[in-house]
Amino acid sequence: MALVEGDIEDVDGVLKITKIRLKYRFNLPEGLRDKAERALGVYAEKCPAYQTIKNCIDVSWTADMEEA
């Protein structure tokens, strides 16, 4: 699950999305936390959506992970 928030600001008379904050919540099988943390650490470099907006919109993310 992901909760997403964003900011829309007036930039030179034009409304623009300037920030996006994602908060992921994962329920993981026991023993996979390390793999999930590594994946979260590198996914942005391979994510087409992030690569498209990374220089236009400030994007940040956090993750809460629970092992079952």
Give me the mean pLDDT over the 33-56 stretch.
Answer: 93
Distance between first and last Cα of the chain: 16
pLDDT band at 2 (very low <50, low <70, confident <90, very high): very high
Q: What is the DSSP letter of 31?
A: T
More confident position, 35 or 68: 35
pTM given for the model:
0.82
The predicted-structure confidence for 17-41, as pLDDT tens digits, reads as follows: 999 999 999 999 999 999 999 999 9
SS3 22: strand
* Dist. CA 4–CA 22, nearest whole Å: 5
Give all domains of the chain, ordered by start, each with its CATH number. Answer: 2-67 (3.30.300.20)
Q: What pLDDT, on the 0 to 100 scale, is given for residue 68?
A: 84
* Dist. CA 63–CA 2, nearest whole Å: 9
Q: Do the beta carbons of residue 62 and residue 41 sit within 8 Å?
A: no
**4: amino acid identity, one letter:** V
Give me the mean pLDDT over the 37-64 stretch.
Answer: 94
